[in-house]
Amino acid sequence: MLPFARKEELRVAAEEIGKTAMLEMKVADLREIILGSKAYKNDPESVNNFLSLIVEARKQKEEQSDNLEFEKIKLEKAKLEAQLELERISLEKAKIESVQIDTDASSASGNGNSFNCVENYIHSVRTLTLPIPIRAEGWNLFFASLEGAFNMKNLPDEFKGEILLNLMGEKATYILVYIKEGNVKDYKKIKDTVLREFEPTPLACLQNFQKVKCLQNETHVQFASRLATGWEQYCTLRDVKNLETLKELIVSDKLYQSLDQETSTHVNLKQE
């Protein structure tokens, strides 16, 4: 009785005893060739032993491969745990620095030093806020993180506009053209002006949402949050206010996808 073996192993055994084993042959055919061969009838033990060695070599190789894969998984897990620990330490450090900055800001405010107070707040908020976006679709996410930092720090409204302009750097120059002198500290007006100048069109926003991919160092939770923010931005630009308007938007987008290229190009130009 031949030991259990895979097709390729039976082919090797058949060729070893001088039989022709075609690639398209099935396992049953190969077993029949070996069992009917003169070599097997004369010395079945030797044939069985040879096939057993082939099978055993394959099992050892698979076991080594499984062990290697397991070690890789353990290594990846250790790297992830180390990365999470570094992030936790970095976050704790940022919190400590933020508390120190808040203390300095309170002290500066109490002493009537408004400039130092704003500088401390700027540094504190920058630590907790995403960088100024390079691409237009990033502004919504930027403002979400900025306002989260404002709430975390209980920042007075009088400083929010000035801090926003400071964080924008060179881009603030373009915004100040549209801001009256008396509104320089009005955070809402500055934000609305920024979004009006830099925010993408609804079509660009939808296309960015459809093409977005998880970044290399981004967790699934962060990716899901970024997706949700992008979709909310698109719904806001499309003036979605309830379920009915959302359904109308989905149907409209589906109809747009069914347009021929010439018509869709014309629609795109009209939307820009």
**Tens-digit pLDDT string for the chain (272 aa):** 566 788 888 888 888 888 888 888 888 888 888 888 888 888 888 888 888 888 888 888 888 887 887 888 888 777 777 777 777 777 676 666 555 545 555 554 444 444 456 777 888 888 888 888 877 667 777 888 888 888 888 888 888 888 888 888 888 887 888 887 777 788 888 888 888 777 777 777 787 778 878 877 778 887 887 788 778 878 887 888 888 888 888 888 888 778 777 776 666 665 55
* Domain termination site, one of 198, 221, 238: 198
Task: Assess if residue 73 is contained within a domain.
Answer: no
- Domain count for the chain, please give it: 3
Task: Assess if residue 215 is contained within a domain.
Answer: yes
What is the reported pTM? 0.41
| The pair of three-digit structure tokens given for residue 127, joined into one six-digit string | 């630590």
pLDDT at 269: 61
Which amino acid, one-letter code, is at 163?
I
Quote the domain boundaries for residue 249: 202-270
pLDDT at 112: 46
Q: For the chain, how far is it from start to end, CA to CA, in angstroms? A: 77
Task: Assess if residue 182 is contained within a domain.
Answer: yes
User: Buried (b) or exposed (e) across 133-159, using 16+ Cβ within 10 A?
Assistant: eeebbbbbbbbbebeebbeebebeeeb
Q: Is residue 28 a contact partner of residue 6, using CB atoms and an 8 Å limit? A: no
pLDDT at 108: 46
Residues 193 and 218 in one domain: no
Q: Is residue 120 a contact partner of residue 106, using CB atoms and an 8 Å limit? A: no
3-state secondary structure of 32: helix
User: Buried (b) or exposed (e) across 194-225, using 16+ Cβ within 10 A?
Assistant: bbeebbbebbbbbebbeeeeeeeeeeeeeeee
CA distance 85 to 102: 25
Residues 246 and 228 in one domain: yes
| The pair of three-digit structure tokens given for residue 258, joined into one six-digit string | 């069914």
Task: Assess if residue 90 is contained within a domain.
Answer: no
Residues 206 and 265 in one domain: yes
Residues 133 and 194 in one domain: yes
CA distance 211 to 73: 30
| The pair of three-digit structure tokens given for residue 193, joined into one six-digit string | 């002006």
pLDDT at 175: 82
